[in-house]
Amino acid sequence: MAIAEAAEAGLDVRPLSGSLGAEVRGLRLAGAGVDEAATVTDLLMRHQVLFFPEQHLSPDEHIAFGRLFGRLEGHPNLATDPERPEFFELRATDGAGGIADEWHSDLTFQDEPSIYSILHMRTCPAVGGDTMWASMYRAYDALSQPMKELCEGLSAIHNAAPHDRAEKMAVHPVIRRHPVTGRKSLFVNEHFTRRIVELSRAESDVLLAHLTRHATQPRFTIRYRWQAGTIAMWDNRCTQHHVLDDFTGERVIQRVTVVGDRPEPAAPLRHVPHDGSRTATSWWDLPYRRFLRERAGT
């Protein structure tokens, strides 16, 4: 949806950076229906992350809004409310607690990672605790052509080691194609991505370090300063995000997550998994080899 079309629909849509992000006013999310969801989806395909100030949704309204976009799933490694298993809350005080302060896309250690995350800022500090997002479309576009060609033939293992669940793993393409826009995006992140399957450990370490550093260049990002009652919604298929742990006071967020998408490689994967020599250093690869064997049924 273009800005002119949004204005005709009674919406005020204000882009917040040259790469991604827009603030949307004039749309009440509580009680929204399929028409409003279609409008939000159109805007999200254009801007990748949207902010809706002054919404103040109840947990049930938050859940109902999320269900307009697909199946919801609670966080697999965090405590949830038994009465609302698809809904969770994170609290942090004076920089300690639930703070996602590494760049990541949500739940990439699952075979079907998050499609959308919908976050309600319930309580925020007067200063600090901002969140940054980065456009993985822009990150892919800025790669050199030889690097694009290399990465489009590769896949990577992601795991839940940050949640003390290193055995929980998934394999995804390094470059994925968005199922709606058709655009290519970089799909590795510093928080969950552990190893490029087709490369040796040494090669993988070098390439992942380059890609994760490249992906979060300031020119690809937006930094958002929160106000209580703001709803943020972002597309995990083409963004990463990072919370700034620079605040004092209390920060409370509530979130639902839309799942059900299996990443599609941007190009056919061209190589078999790396199977290096069995030396004293090969123990690094044992968990990944076991996982890939089990995945292949061999």
Those residues with Cβ within 8 angstroms of residue 145's Cβ, 6 or more apart along the chain or in another chain: none
Enumerate the CATH 3.60.130.10 domain ranges in the chain, comma separated: 3-133+222-259, 136-215+264-296
Q: 96: how many CB neighbours lie within 10 A of its CB?
A: 9
For residue range 108-136, what is the model confidence (pLDDT) as tens digits?
A: 999 999 999 999 999 999 999 999 999 99
Residue 1 has pLDDT above 80, yes or no: no
**Which CATH fold topology does 3-133+222-259 show?**
Double-stranded beta-helix (3.60.130)
Q: Using pLDDT thresholds of 50, 70 and 90, give the confidence band for residue 290.
A: confident
Q: Degrees (nearest 5) of the Cα angle 49, 50, 51?
A: 130
Contacts 24+ apart (CB under 8 A), 164-167: 164/77, 165/77, 165/109, 166/287, 167/287
Residue whose entry in the numeric block shows the structure tokens 């456009």: 135
Report, as residue numbers or ranges, the catalytic residues. Answer: 104, 106, 241, 255
Contact at 8 Å (CB) between 279 and 201?
Answer: no
Higher pLDDT among residues 275 and 212, named by residue = 212
Tokens standing for 27?
Answer: 């749309």
Those residues with Cβ within 8 angstroms of residue 206's Cβ, 6 or more apart along the chain or in another chain: none
Higher pLDDT among residues 82 and 202, named by residue = 202
Reported pTM: 0.92
Contact at 8 Å (CB) between 208 and 188?
Answer: yes
Residue 181 has pLDDT above 70, yes or no: yes
* The pLDDT value given to residue 233: 98
* The pLDDT value given to residue 282: 65
Residue 7 has pLDDT above 60, yes or no: no
SS3 230: coil
Those residues with Cβ within 8 angstroms of residue 248's Cβ, 6 or more apart along the chain or in another chain: 94, 95, 125, 128
Q: Using pLDDT thresholds of 50, 70 and 90, give the confidence band for residue 137.
A: very high
Residue 146 has pLDDT above 90, yes or no: yes
Q: Using pLDDT thresholds of 50, 70 and 90, give the confidence band for residue 84.
A: confident
Average pLDDT, the chain: 92
Query: Residue range 216-239: average pLDDT?
Result: 98
Q: Using pLDDT thresholds of 50, 70 and 90, give the confidence band for residue 8.
A: very low
CATH number of 136-215+264-296: 3.60.130.10
Buried b (16+ CB within 10 A) or exposed e, 131-159: bbbbbbbbbbebbeeeebeebbbbbbbbb
* The pLDDT value given to residue 153: 92
H-helix or E-strand spanning residue 286: helix 286-296
Q: Degrees (nearest 5) of the Cα angle 109, 112, 115?
A: 105
